[in-house]
Amino acid sequence: MLYIKKLFLTGIFICCSVALQAQSTDTFNLNEVYSIDSEGTISLSSDDAEVMIIGSNRSDIHVEIHYEFEVTGFSFGDRTKFNMTVREENGN
């Protein structure tokens, strides 16, 4: 009987440990100002995002990004962390 109790408690401990490890979060925040020419163009490429572009008469651009990806439960396969690139090309 004692063996069954130990086995049962070990099983519960393992299940709880796996459940805690199965939760993961990837976050990224950016709040920067970049220069741009008066005739410059802003381009954006995204696979999945809610995007808001607000125009105004100014000599720079303010880029604000808030990204959060949360997995609750089991996830299979590799998932790369969030990545972005900001680059200047001929005043754009």
- What pLDDT does 60 receive? 86
Chain centre to alpha carbon of residue 27:
4
Spatial contact of 29 and 75, defined as CB atoms under 8 Å apart: no
Has residue 18 been placed in a domain? Answer: no
Q: What integer pLDDT is reported at residue 11 of this predicted model? A: 73
pLDDT of residue 41: 82
What pLDDT does 25 receive? 77
Q: Measuring CA to CA, which residue among 70, 65, 59, 61 is closest to residue 85?
A: 65
| DSSP string for 26-83 | EEEEEEEEEE--TT-------SS--------S-SEEEEEEEEEEEE-S---S--PPP-
Residue 70: which domain range? 24-92
The reported pLDDT for the residue numbered 15 is 61
Residue 92 belongs to a domain? yes
Reading the chain (92 residues) residue by residue, the pLDDT tens digits are 666 766 677 777 676 555 545 566 788 888 988 888 878 888 777 777 777 778 788 888 888 888 888 777 666 666 677 777 888 888 88
How many domains does the chain divide into?
1
Residue 7 located in a structural domain? no
The predicted pLDDT at position 78 comes to 62
Tell me if 9 is assigned to some domain.
Answer: no
In a domain, 91, yes or no: yes
